[in-house]
Amino acid sequence: DTGVSQNPRHKITKRGQNVTFRCDPISEHNRLYWYRQTLGQGPEFLTYFQNEAQLEKSRLLSDRFSAERPKGSFSTLEIQRTEQGDSAMYLCASARGETQYFGPGTRLLVL
Amino acid sequence: KNEVEQSPQNLTAQEGEFITINCSYSVGISALHWLQQHPGGGIVSLFMLSSGKKKHGRLIATINIQEKHSSLHITASHPRDSAVYICAVDGGGADGLTFGKGTHLIIQP
- pLDDT tens digits for range A61-103: 889 999 999 988 999 999 999 999 999 999 999 988 778 899 9
Taking residues B25-32, what's their average pLDDT? 90
User: Cβ(B88)–Cβ(A30) under 8 Å?
Assistant: no
Q: What is the pLDDT of residue A25?
A: 96
Residue B32's Cα: distance from chain center in Å? Answer: 9
Query: Cα separation of B41 and B37, whole Å?
Result: 6
Query: Cα separation of B95 and B35, whole Å?
Result: 18
Taking residues A6-29, what's their average pLDDT? 94
Beta strands per DSSP E along B1-109: 4-7, 10-14, 19-25, 31-37, 43-49, 52-56, 59-64, 69-74, 83-90, 97-99, 103-108
Residue B100 has a CB neighbour count (10 Å cut-off) of: 26
Q: Computed from CA positions of residues A101, A83, A85, B82, in that sequence, does the dihedral angle turn out positive or negative?
A: positive
Query: Cα separation of A42 and A23, whole Å?
Result: 20
Contact state of A102 with B44 under an 8 Å Cβ cutoff:
yes
User: Cβ(B49)–Cβ(B32) under 8 Å?
Assistant: yes
Q: Computed from CA positions of residues B19, B99, A102, B56, in that sequence, does the dihedral angle turn out positive or negative?
A: positive
| Whole-number CA gyration radius for chain B | 13
Contact state of A102 with B96 under an 8 Å Cβ cutoff:
no
Residues of B with CB under 8 A from a CB of A: 4, 30-31, 33, 35, 40-45, 48, 86, 88, 90, 93-102
Mean pLDDT, chain A, integer: 92
% of chain B residues with pLDDT over 70:
97
User: Cβ(B62)–Cβ(B2) under 8 Å?
Assistant: no
Q: What is the pLDDT of residue B42?
A: 75
Shortest CA distance from A97: residue in chain B: B48
Query: Cα separation of B10 and B53, whole Å?
Result: 24
Query: Cα separation of A68 and B76, whole Å?
Result: 45
Checking if the pLDDT of B90 tops 90, the result is no
Q: What is the pLDDT of residue B41?
A: 63
Between positions 12 and 71 of A, the ones with CB within 8 A of B are 33, 35, 37, 40-45, 48, 50, 55-56, 58
Look up residue B50 and give its amino acid. S
For residue B102, list chain A residues with Cβ-Cβ distance below 8 A.
41-42
Strand partners of residue B60? B55, B73
Query: Cα separation of A36 and A43, whole Å?
Result: 5
